[in-house]
A and B are shown apart, each in its own frame.
Chain A
Amino acid sequence: MVHVPLTPIGRARASFCDDNTFESNLSSLAAREEQLRMRRAEVHAGWGEKYAGRVHAKGKMTARERLESIKDPGSRSFEVGTFVNYGLKFGDKGLQSPGAGVVTAFAQVHGRWCMVIANDNTVASGSWWPMTPEKIQRAQQMALRMRLPTIYLVDCSGLFLPEQSRSFPGAKGAGHIFKMNSLLSAAGVPQLAGVFGDCIAGGGYMPIISDRVYMTEQAYMVIAGAALIKGAKSQKMTSLGIGGPEVHVHQSRCADVRVPDDATLLSCLRDEVARLPSSGADYYRGDAGPVDPGFPAAELSGLMPSDHREAYDVTEVLARLCDQSLFWEVMAGSGEEMICGVGRVNGLYTGFIANRQGLVGNPDDPGAKRPASILYKAGIAKISAFSRACNADGIPIVWLQDIAGFDIGAEAERQGLLSYGSNLIYTNSTNETPMFTVLLRKASGAGYYAMAGMPYDPVVQLSTTLSRQSVMEGRTLAIATYNTKLDDDFEIVTQDPEERAAIEKGMASVEKRIEADMDPFVAARQMDTDEIVEFGELRSYISMLVEASYQSTGYRRIKNPRIWSLHDLAVLTEGLR
């Protein structure tokens, strides 16, 4: 029989996590998440009141006010790339570029998830910094993968020229944004543009490929502004004169519609989105409406130990992410270290792949235990098969990583873990179903790759304030670096106090440096992860992503559960149901 046999999972919090543990987890995380909130607020403020004031003085809205007013009232937008360039300084003056001067966010417009890309006009008039093109392209890529309407709110004075060599010429240089515009258009993704102010050079190109281009009376689009045109001063030429709506709406037809102000433009863009097909999500939900998890998602922040060496039960995490805490675990009988299965998220079927923590049984040595956060042969085969089946069935996959790496040693090599791992990598690399990756805590070594980490192109990768991406932990690298000075138990061999102190100091310094680099804000700064989220937000981010992946119909396979290949897998591995 082909029903999807979801069953209740999880337990009431108090039955497995006492008030003291809960409180201690909560408070340890609270400090980190408070820092996250403060840093978000800092990025959101752009260059601050003074610059927002300048925008308002021109009768314009700031980028974030525009985002706020284009989304459905009462809905929440979900930013990605908030911390790109966080803390970095550019140019002779050491200027900072909060959010790399652009806001990229999933926002709902008339019930359709859209990707909104808005130049931050409170940061150097929305100019493009190093990494700004990459951030915009990443957002475009997300939109392309899920065929989401893409809305450009353009207000951009061009490249930040003192750093032009870092944002102009490369494979992901600014010009690649327009290639992405083209690819989106070629894939049939609706693109809409609103032009609100200076749109010089790149800023001028970004809107043009869009299906509909709106301009306010303050907007102009030019290949080069009046400042670069010889004799412009004596002829009293202005940029608005050479590339304003008068020219582009009526003479060049580079834009479609002129409107008096920001508010009108945003409301027109909303009307444009309303003309698009509505979301398929309601159709795919069938009779199952959106329902919260049975156990509150808010509890996650008290269940997750901040120390990555402490174990927790990942089933309890799934119970706080799936609707009504109902889940169908597939292939439960093998590869105990991994858990994979299907649950609903906001009524929509979603595949989950997660690794357990603590100790699990060892099939090669019955009765013995081994660490769970490691990829062993059966676990790799299991998640590979599950990942392929989800792809075949069009079920989006959420990967939950807290993984230390692959099994190592002579036996692991004999078993051919290299090739099982490669098989998994091939599967994930060629999957077309949307995949989303969450780094709950550890994302180490090849485990990070095998479980669809950033280099394997998940549509979106989320970090938490506990995430730590690395080839190896600092301690491990310190051991590897000082390998020749250590014995079998990794203790320092020499008895010479001076030499010992030097080795200890060296090892500590290696460890410290790695620890610092594993800071999720470092990863987010250099776009090694898309966003850092609070544990309490995880379920809403995932809900949004799953809804978005079921929104556009017709571009990807979405099978109904009766014809899922997943059932074959279940029957073959678990016997007849």
Chain B
Amino acid sequence: MRIAKACDAMGITPVFAASEADLGAAYLKDREVVCVGPARSTQSYLDLAKMVQAARQSRCTAVHPGWGFLAENPQFAALCEQHGLSFIGPPAHVMHLMGKKTPAKKAMGAAGLTLIPGSDGILEGADDARRVADETGYPVLLKAESGGGGRGMRIARSADEVASAYADAQAEARAAFGDPRVYMEKLIEGGRHVEIQVMADRYGNVVHLGERDCTVQRNHQKLIEESPSPVLDDAVRQASLDAAAKATAAIGYVGAGTMEFLLDQDGVLRFMEMNTRLQVEHCVSEVRAGKDLVEQQILVAAGHQLAWRQADIELAGHAIECRINAEDPSDGFRPSPGKIEKWVSPTGEGVRVDTHVQSGYVVPPHYDSLLCKVITHGDTRDQACDRMIAALGDLVCEGVMTTAAMHRQILASADFRSNNYDTRAIPGWSQE
């Protein structure tokens, strides 16, 4: 919907790819839609060949991958380009580079970003692991170079655990991926999650749109995002924003992207990874900058120069986004699919709502249950928070459970207002 809105504004006809589960949804009414398969995403939204076929048969010229499913799949990007479809995102090889662990770190380190301390690439053996761990300081995390899904990952909390953790990580990596290469990073527990929004064109022009603080999380799922980060030192902020833009240019990045950082207890911002796509929370930056990222993405993919220079980006006030899901927070965030009998989006000064939902919409049980994103903007953090609390109070959703009340509780809490939290616990809210 977000992307279709931008298309509408630009006079571009969007074609929607929809699975059988989404086919009847009201937001597709009067839209051009291609059914790409059954509800199971592996047979529809994740099937590269089907998606490309759908785009080609409907004579599309470009594909916007959104922010889920195939958005960070370099094979899909390569496949689109191979079949004459402009992929709205970075080139496959850049996406691929950022997906590779140690090469991505090396590229970012070379471009001037501060890294999480650890090994300089692949460890040469158990002795090397011990030496690096001693230099880095405990606890350390051993990670498989070809890893994913937590496989080939081990923690060593002291020197006598390194050898066995190294051997275990290596054995698991070899068994799972045929590739026993392992590297090491310091395990930083807690800390805050800060990310920087960048936007680049094909011609080497890059701007940043400030940072976002996404520390309020549940099991690595972001709940609340805000900008600017309330705890980031101004000097660190400026240096990091500049370095992120420089690094983006250095790797030949194109389109919208996000550099994710860990802000440790000492206030150092350390690069973790780059998300090579537009993220759900991009709206926070849009609101502060007063710019439309999706529109710019489309223009850049069509070969246009970036319409903005850094001096054109003026970041004003404070913005907060809450993701409202069809979940029951009091019951372990159990998904709550079903029919929404009545839906009313909040409105008001400094309030933006991005949603595909309207009264009568049925939340399918198959996918992520995001209902809407509410973004509020204010002169100060407190004003933005207050506006959010009011807006969420005005939100009407009858028929399914939502996380709106939990968000209000968090925003109103003293812990949240005084920045007394990190990624390990949700401020002002507990499951009990």
A→B interface (CB under 8 Å): 3-8, 13, 19, 22-23, 26, 287-292, 294, 296, 298-302, 323-326, 347, 536
0/1 string, B79-114, CB within 8 A of A gives 1? 101111000000111101000100000000000000
| In the complex, chain B residues whose CB is within 8 Å of the CB of A26 | 174, 178
Q: Would you call A6 and B82 a contact (CB within 8 A)? A: yes
Chain B nearest CB: distance from A286 CB in Å? 10
| In the complex, chain B residues whose CB is within 8 Å of the CB of A6 | 78-79, 82
| In the complex, chain A residues whose CB is within 8 Å of the CB of B239 | none
Q: Is B279 positioned at the interface, with any CB of A under 8 Å from its CB?
A: no
Q: Would you call B78 and A5 a contact (CB within 8 A)? A: no
Chain B nearest CB: distance from A325 CB in Å? 7
0/1 string, B269-294, CB within 8 A of A gives 1? 00000000000000000000000000
Looking at the complex, which one of A290, A301, A324 makes contact with B75 (CB distance below 8 Å)?
Answer: A324
B→A interface (CB under 8 Å): 48-49, 74-75, 78-79, 81-84, 91-94, 96, 100, 146, 174-175, 177-179, 252
* A and B contact pairs by CB, cutoff 8 A, 28 listed: A3-B82, A4-B82, A5-B83, A6-B82, A8-B49, A8-B75, A13-B178, A23-B175, A26-B174, A287-B91, A288-B93, A289-B92, A290-B93, A291-B78, A291-B92, A292-B100, A294-B75, A298-B146, A298-B177, A298-B178, A299-B178, A301-B178, A323-B78, A324-B78, A325-B75, A326-B78, A326-B82, A536-B179
| In the complex, chain B residues whose CB is within 8 Å of the CB of A347 | 93
Complex CA–CA separation, A370 to B75 (angstroms) = 35
Q: Would you call B146 and A289 a contact (CB within 8 A)? A: no
| In the complex, chain A residues whose CB is within 8 Å of the CB of B146 | 296, 298
Complex CA–CA separation, A301 to B179 (angstroms) = 9
Complex CA–CA separation, A22 to B172 (angstroms) = 13
Chain A nearest CB: distance from B81 CB in Å? 7
| In the complex, chain B residues whose CB is within 8 Å of the CB of A288 | 78, 81, 92-93
Residue on A nearest B77 in the bound complex, by CB: A324
Chain B nearest CB: distance from A216 CB in Å? 34
| In the complex, chain A residues whose CB is within 8 Å of the CB of B48 | 8
Complex CA–CA separation, A468 to B25 (angstroms) = 61
Complex CA–CA separation, A8 to B146 (angstroms) = 20
Chain B nearest CB: distance from A369 CB in Å? 28
Complex CA–CA separation, A326 to B82 (angstroms) = 10
Complex CA–CA separation, A8 to B79 (angstroms) = 8
Complex CA–CA separation, A324 to B84 (angstroms) = 17
Q: Would you call A22 and B49 a contact (CB within 8 A)? A: no
- Given A292-B96, A347-B93, the answer on whether A302 and B178 have CB atoms closer than 8 Å is yes
Q: Would you call B49 and A7 a contact (CB within 8 A)? A: yes
Chain A nearest CB: distance from B62 CB in Å? 14
Looking at the complex, which one of A5, A23, A299, A326 makes contact with B177 (CB distance below 8 Å)?
Answer: A299
| In the complex, chain B residues whose CB is within 8 Å of the CB of A326 | 75, 78-79, 82
Residue on A nearest B146 in the bound complex, by CB: A296
| In the complex, chain A residues whose CB is within 8 Å of the CB of B92 | 288-289, 291, 324
Residue on A nearest B252 in the bound complex, by CB: A289
Chain B nearest CB: distance from A16 CB in Å? 14
Complex CA–CA separation, A291 to B48 (angstroms) = 17
Looking at the complex, which one of B93, B175, B177, B178 makes contact with A291 (CB distance below 8 Å)?
Answer: B93
Chain B nearest CB: distance from A576 CB in Å? 15
| In the complex, chain B residues whose CB is within 8 Å of the CB of A536 | 178-179
Q: Would you call B96 and A291 a contact (CB within 8 A)? A: yes
Complex CA–CA separation, A23 to B179 (angstroms) = 12
Q: Would you call A287 and B178 a contact (CB within 8 A)? A: no
Chain B nearest CB: distance from A29 CB in Å? 10
Q: A8-B79, A323-B78 are in contact. List 18 more A-B contacts (CB 8 A).
A: A3-B84, A6-B78, A6-B82, A7-B79, A8-B75, A13-B178, A19-B175, A22-B175, A26-B174, A288-B93, A289-B91, A289-B93, A289-B252, A292-B100, A294-B74, A296-B146, A324-B92, A536-B178
